[in-house]
Amino acid sequence: MRILETLDAQRGHLFPWVPVALAAGIGFYFTLTAEPGAVIWAGVTGLCGLFLLLSWVVGPRAGPLFVLLFLIGAGGLLAGARTMLVAEPVLKYRFYGAVEGRIIAIDRSFSDVPRLTLDQVWMERFAPDETPARVRVSLHGNQGFFDAEPGLRVAMTAHLSPPPAPSEPGGFNFQRRAWFEKLGAVGYTRSPALAMAPASEGRAGLAIHRLRMAISGAIRQHMPGDEGAFASAILTGDRSAMSQPTLQALRDANLAHLLAISGLHMGLLTAFVFAALRTGLSLIPPLALRVPVKKLAAVFALCCAAFYLALSGGNIATQRAFIMVAVMLVAVLFDRRAITVRAVAIAALIVLLMQPESVTEPGFQMSFSATTALVAVFGALRDWPENWWRMPRWAQPVLAVVVSSLVAGGATAPFGAAHFNQVAQYGLFANLLTVPLMGILVIPAAVVAGLLAPFGVAGIALDVMRLGIGWILFVAEYVAGLDGSTWPVPAPSDWVLPIFTIGALWLILWQGRWRLLGAVPASLAFVLWAQTSRPQLLISDNGSLMGLMTEQGRVLSKGKGAGFSAQNWLENDGDVATQQQAFGRDGFGGGKGYLIAEVMGQRFIHLSGRGWAGKLPEACAQGWVVMARKLDIPAPEGCQLLDQRALSKTGSIAVFKGPDGPIITKAKTLAGDRPWTQ
């Protein structure tokens, strides 16, 4: 058969498809609207066993087809097993009371206040088997009665809620992320949080944390301002001193990835250490002739990468970067080519086996899309004639940087635009001016500073590092200030990214002229994206906010409050307006306390403020009634009511234009009956 002949021609190039098939099964599991039962899981397990048996029976030509089916099924089984393994109690209702726990993570909240993640949780009136394994609490009000550090046991009176459902149907699913982080409740406290037991008793990475904070403090003392904050962020993962305007400028210039400790930093650091050590040892003839200096350099670089992983705080993105670097360095130890598509596939496979839920995360998608594209492009260039460059040798690295920025930027742009709803129009320009400096100056200076620190002369290297960081921040502010620096884009439908990914991977991984077929689904994805329609009306999950789409953009029912939902709606629309600006637009009928939104003849009336009870009968006669309260009086007969009680069952609501009238979509219906939604 022609299909089998075509498949046979791919022999030797099929391994990179292993993580792709596994990810397809994992992705399919997360699209389900109901959790499979024991019978279904048993059936899938049986089918996987059958496919594996058939792959052996039919022989090497048709066998890969059955291996592919086995891997897809195994991906679903892996995701299901992971879901069960991380299962922990989740808060079922709003809670106010005493909370005690051990700090395991410290960061900042959406409102830019300190936020603590606690484990070993005790909650007032909760039995141990009903208490969430972890809770996250933002510290508002009068705080500062202790220095937060991992291991410290703290107590507070907190307002906690279950992890929130999507702010709109089909939107970002924080409930699912919280489930896999074992995070059973989130909330805040306005009363002082107090220390109950010293961090030395709780441990929880205390020694590493204190080392990180000591290094971060020493850097900022020598290098004050945003330069020192930037240096601390890329070396220790501590972003606490970064100013919000600088962070926003880095995002708008598409340079935020320079701040996050990910593949770029891990790769640059290990590459510098590996190259420096290998070169230095090679200059000692007696040693170079007796010791495999290349392998020795690889082992030392791997140790440095592991130390950098611990020092940075070990977040998920850094873990992925470490795995990719480790796979490549281990390949050097076994005399294999380090930078290959196969090595990237092994790294992806390890990440998926450890954390299958990563396939839904933007970090995973952007990291591996950039790495795969870079390896594929430079692998193809390596096979070209040596004289194709036709330029001086000194200029070739410059061209390599340009090509790298183009390839990495092009590979990650669709994923970044889909998840963050904007494209940095001058991002390539900004990256060309800054990324080379990270590799040539900033990271090498950081490594040298670490080597000189025990001798008390790290300041020399930090001063060099400051020059590079100063330039990066200057470029970020300049580019972010240009007219049209960011181009907002609407959120795509759920199928856009999977279709684009299939096409892009086919173009990269398939061998032969048929690889060009990958351009078809990749192009189709952008066509579908361009045709994406946004809801005509959005209603928040507590009824406090409505957003009506108009020719000017979405108009919001209030200028303050429900800020998280308002920001998400506007971002998903591809709208750069603030909540206050969207509130000032025309679109709602009625007046204050009685706003009317109309979609294809169907009216939705938002009741608020005093006197709502007297307006209820008239509103019910006109259409759906939306209220940010639980109705405690009998509703008029036949009233279509969306109060807090009803919305707690439906979640946020989206209203679309349909062929026969408005179509109402509910967030909880789309999210389905999954462990993280119950």
**Confidence check: pLDDT of 83 > 70:** yes
Q: Is residue 339 located within the same domain as residue 462?
A: yes
Q: Is residue 465 located within the same domain as residue 337?
A: yes
Give burial (CB, 10 Å; 0-12/13-18/19+) of 243.
Answer: exposed
Residue among 308, 314, 431, 317 nearest 363 (CA): 317
Amino acid identity of residue 482, one-letter, is: L
H or E segment to which residue 284 belongs: none
**Confidence check: pLDDT of 56 > 70:** yes
CB atoms within 10 A of CB 576: 14
Q: Which of 187-191, 192-196, 368-372 has the lowest mean pLDDT?
A: 368-372
Question: What DSSP string describes 450-515?
Answer: HHHGGGT-THHHHHHHHHHHHHHHHHHHHHHTSTT-EEE-PPPPTTHHHHHHHHHHHHHH--SGGG
Whether residue 254 is contained in a domain is answered as yes
Question: What DSSP string describes 177-223?
Answer: HHHHTTEEEEEEE-SPPEEEE-HHHH-SSHHHHHHHHHHHHHHHHHS
For range 199-222, the mean pLDDT: 83
Find the angle CA(439)-CA(445)-CA(450) to the nearest 5 degrees.
125
Q: Is residue 193 located within the same domain as residue 58?
A: no
Mean pLDDT of the chain: 88
Per-residue model confidence (pLDDT) at position 388: 53
Q: Is residue 476 located within the same domain as residue 374?
A: yes
Question: What DSSP string describes 136-188?
Answer: EEEE-SS--SS---TT-EEEEEEEEEPPPPPSSTTS--HHHHHHHTTEEEEEE
Q: Is residue 81 located within the same domain as residue 99?
A: no
347 or 9: which leads in pLDDT = 347
- Alpha carbon distance 552, 461 (integer Å): 53
Residue among 429, 466, 374, 484 nearest 255 (CA): 429
Give the contacts of 276 (CB within 8 A, at least 6 positions apart): 447
H or E segment to which residue 97 belongs: strand 95-108
- Alpha carbon distance 229, 370 (integer Å): 27
| Cα within 13 Å of Cα(263), Cβ side | 20
Whether residue 59 is contained in a domain is answered as yes
Q: Choose from 57-61, 296-300, 375-379 the range with maximum mean pLDDT.
A: 296-300
Per-residue model confidence (pLDDT) at position 86: 96
- Alpha carbon distance 54, 153 (integer Å): 56
168 close to 647: Cβ distance less than 8 angstroms: no
Any idea what DSSP says for residue 101? E
First to last CA, the chain: 49
Q: Is residue 154 located within the same domain as residue 6?
A: no
Residues in the chain: 678
For range 578-598, the mean pLDDT: 93
Q: Is residue 74 located within the same domain as residue 100?
A: no
- Alpha carbon distance 559, 545 (integer Å): 10
Per-residue model confidence (pLDDT) at position 393: 65
Find the angle CA(156)-CA(160)-CA(162) to the nearest 5 degrees.
150
Whether residue 354 is contained in a domain is answered as yes
Q: Is residue 523 located within the same domain as residue 429?
A: no
Q: Is residue 227 located within the same domain as residue 310?
A: yes
Per-residue model confidence (pLDDT) at position 383: 65
235 or 187: which leads in pLDDT = 187
Cα-to-chain-centroid distance, residue 324? 18
User: Considering the entire predicted model, what is its pTM?
Assistant: 0.89
**Confidence check: pLDDT of 596 > 90:** yes
Whether residue 343 is contained in a domain is answered as yes
Q: Is residue 375 located within the same domain as residue 236?
A: yes
Cα-atom radius of gyration of the chain, to the nearest Å? Answer: 27
Per-residue model confidence (pLDDT) at position 262: 74
Whether residue 129 is contained in a domain is answered as yes
Whether residue 198 is contained in a domain is answered as yes
Please write the tens of the pLDDT for every residue from 359-382: 999 888 988 888 888 888 887 777
The domain boundary, picked from 204, 219, 253, lies at 204
Per-residue model confidence (pLDDT) at position 254: 85
For range 641-659, the mean pLDDT: 92
Q: Choose from 123-127, 268-272, 307-311, 372-376 the range with maximum mean pLDDT.
A: 123-127
Whether residue 90 is contained in a domain is answered as no
Q: Could you identify the residue written with the tokens 């089909």?
A: 170
Per-residue model confidence (pLDDT) at position 179: 96
Per-residue model confidence (pLDDT) at position 457: 84
Share of residues in the chain with pLDDT > 70 (%): 96
- Tokens representing 436? 């080379």
Residue among 361, 482, 369, 487 nearest 421 (CA): 487
Q: Choose from 19-28, 250-259, 310-319, 652-661 the range with maximum mean pLDDT.
A: 19-28
Q: Is residue 104 located within the same domain as residue 74?
A: no
| Domain containing residue 43 | 2-85
Confidence category of residue 496, pLDDT binned at 50, 70, 90: very high
Whether residue 676 is contained in a domain is answered as no
The domain boundary, picked from 37, 64, 85, lies at 85
The domain boundary, picked from 155, 176, 204, lies at 204
Confidence category of residue 513, pLDDT binned at 50, 70, 90: confident
Dihedrals phi, psi of 226, to nearest 5 degrees:
-65, -25
Find the angle CA(379)-CA(253)-CA(268) to the nearest 5 degrees.
40
* Structural domain count of the chain: 5
Confidence category of residue 255, pLDDT binned at 50, 70, 90: confident
120 close to 102: Cβ distance less than 8 angstroms: yes
**Confidence check: pLDDT of 400 > 80:** no
512 or 466: which leads in pLDDT = 466
Per-residue model confidence (pLDDT) at position 157: 96
Q: Is residue 200 located within the same domain as residue 229?
A: no
Share of residues in the chain with pLDDT > 90 (%): 49
| Alpha helices (H) in 481-630, listed in sequence order | 496-509, 519-530, 563-573, 579-583, 612-622
Please write the tens of the pLDDT for every residue from 139-152: 998 888 888 888 99
